[in-house]
Amino acid sequence: MRQGFVKAAVATPKIRVADTEYNGQQIRQQMRESVTKGAKLVVFPELCITGYTCQDLFFQETLLRGAAEELMKIAAESGELDAIFFVGLPYEIGGKLYNVAAVISHGKVLGMVPKSFIPNYNEFYEARHFASGAELCTEAYLPDGSRVPVDTDMIFTCRQLPKLKIAVEICEDLWVPNPPSISHALAGADVIVNLSASNEITGKESYRRELVVGQSARLICAYLYASAGDGESTQDLVFSGHNLIAENGRLLAQSRRFTYGITDSEIDVERITEERRRMTTFVGEDTHSEIEFDLKVEETELTRYINPAPFVPGIKEERDKRCDEILMIQAKGLAKRLEHTGANAVVGISGGLDSTLAILVTARAFDLLGRDRKGITAVTMPGFGTTDRTYDNAVNLIHCLGAEFVEVDIKNAVNVHFSDIGQDPSVHDVTYENSQARERTQILMDIANKNNALVIGTGDLSELALGWATYNGDHMSMYAVNASVPKTLVRHLVRYYADTCGEDLLKKTLLDVLDTPVSPELLPPENGQISQKTEDLVGPYELHDFFLYHMLRLGFSPAKIYRLAKIAFKGVYEEAFILKWLKTFCRRYFAQQFKRSCLPDGPKVGSAAVSPRGDLRMPSDASCALWMKELEE
């Protein structure tokens, strides 16, 4: 439960229709098994104490009494188990029969939530047996004489983790146009549990999954769906036990169909509340009563998949689609700016990844506008650190794309500048490096003036997050097409272009660019090879992109980011190595905000960006003391 992680389980017991004693035994066994696996929240199917398919046996007093007695045994079983349980059964209240979810924790029945929407079509005839509980707000008597609240509008809140707020809907409630879960979420519930008995027909599996995942995205919640399965009557229907756990549009776990058993994963209520805080259109309503329960605060072992590359889709087909979409967003943004200004384009080409992506985007923008690519002035500017490899790749790239080729050697101009400011050229310090970067930017700006053009920025999101850019050097442009593209994604965009361009020399050049170490090439080469490798200086970009996503996009604490990174990069990096670069990231993220406060325009392509006009409005002199203190501890 620490850091907002809660182990949750959805369980389908193998039942016998109308055998409440047997079913209760199976439920209690799965309760114990779930808790042994670490679950703090366990959901069982609709009417699981009796079975969903009892039909007119629901009219039998013997069955109803057996269900109520078994409920009390289940509640007693929970006394020794540290979890909250949701169990379905029929229950008579005020002379009417209701399909309810009993909420149980630490030996007590906390309340009952009735089903609101009672189906009466096709194969489902629940209205023959059950009344709708949509307007029900009362109390029910338990067999021991105690009373519990009965209402659809109840939220069950954990005292030890107040962000864990659970609400209930039952099967058909989800499938209607206005599900109760909508009002539950608006009232603060961040976990919705659904006790269901969804039969299986051809094609229903994917629709059910999309419905659950979509509802979790729409409501920014975790959604736990427990469905009836093996043991239900097959007189006319078959139930598959298709259990699902989703969180904010992501499927965390699902069971195989036509089985029974327990499906579990960890939900992150901190992430859910963070997402809701950011969405100002998520307007809450104070419409529900609140019932508190207790859980011990323990470390939750994480088994859910932690993506080491959160900016990059893992499936190739999806990744290719995303790459094409991003390239189009970048190109469309630039095309609009070129069309509005009537300007041409100037791009500095180093032979590295970022400038390669920038010219590829620029070429696509010119194609969208129907312009001759000769309107793109591609400038290569060899300096003290330029290698033959990057120079040749830059030249080949420019020629392959049909842009105007311009070469300006900056060494003489920079040496004159060194003389003017009294810089010893043999001292390879930050002045030595940044003087080259600013000379290149001056050249690009002046060529742009000469050619009625805009300078197209090449810097990416990862560099901006770290401040790995020369202020008023490569930091500055007139339109920054890569500003919201992280370095890990830049690679995939260039790879996608290489795979789809259909030109052998261009593909060969792009593949060699991808194989070249990332470097600003501001220090002299060693034996003709790149001597200055960025990731040796600031750390691996795959780590920094991971840190960036979880801090900027999700607002996670450094300790939580560290915990997730250790899992995501297990076997790749040592824990001390991860911690070292996380400290570097936090320091630089705060210290370098002044560079991000004056960024040029550029298109947002994903869910995270650092534009001072949009996603990141942060004071340039904010202290990182709290973040660093947490990391030191």
Q: Which of the following is catalytic: 54, 158, 171, 586?
A: 171
Q: Please say if 270 is a catalytic residue.
A: no
Q: Are 164 and 156 in contact (CB under 8 A)?
A: no
Give ∠ CA 392-396-401 in degrees, rounded to 5. 155
3-state secondary structure of 178: coil
**Exposed/middle/buried for 349, CB within 10 Å: 0-12, 13-18, 19+?**
buried
Is 115 annotated as catalytic? Answer: yes
Pull the structure tokens for residue 479. 């339109």
SS3 state of residue 459: coil
Burial of residue 85, with CB atoms counted within 10 A of its CB: 0-12 exposed, 13-18 middle, 19 or more buried: buried
- C-alpha to C-alpha distance for 308 and 300, rounded to whole angstroms: 20
Q: How far apart are CA 403 and CA 372, in angstroms?
A: 9
Distance CA 7, CA 162 (A): 16
Catalytic residue among 7, 40, 46, 560: 46
- Assess contact for 101 and 138: CB atoms under 8 A: no
Rounded to 5 degrees, what angle do the CA atoms 153, 27, 290 make? 20
The number of CA neighbours under 13 Å toward the Cβ of 623 is 3
Whether the CB-CB separation of 168 and 44 falls below 8 Å is answered with no
Label the pairing between strands 261-268 and 154-158. Answer: unpaired
Question: In whole angstroms, how large is the CA radius of gyration of the chain?
Answer: 30
153-158-164-167 Cα dihedral, nearest 10 degrees: -20
As a whole number of angstroms, the distance between CA 128 and CA 117 comes to 13
The pair of structure tokens assigned to 354 is 């970022």
CA angle in degrees (0–180, nearest 5) for 403-409-414:
135
* 588, two tokens: 């630089």
Contacts of 335 (CB under 8 A, 6+ apart): 365, 366, 368, 369
Residue 561 in contact with residue 567, Cβ under 8 Å? no
From residue 83, give the alpha-carbon distance in Å to each of 6, 49, 529, 594: 10, 19, 60, 48
Identified catalytic residue from 7, 40, 115, 165: 115
What's the start-to-end Cα distance of the chain, in Å?
19
Q: Are 323 and 606 in contact, with CB atoms under 8 Å apart?
A: no
264: part of which helix (H) or strand (E)? strand 261-268
Amino acid identity of residue 139, one-letter, is E
Give how far Cα 418 sits from Cα of 421, 426, 427, 428, 439, Å: 5, 11, 11, 12, 11
- Phi and psi at 167, nearest 5°, equal -130, 165
- The closest alpha carbon to 591, from 539, 566, 633, 628, belongs to 628
Nearest-angstrom CA–CA distance, 255 and 232: 17
Active site residue ranges: 46, 115, 171
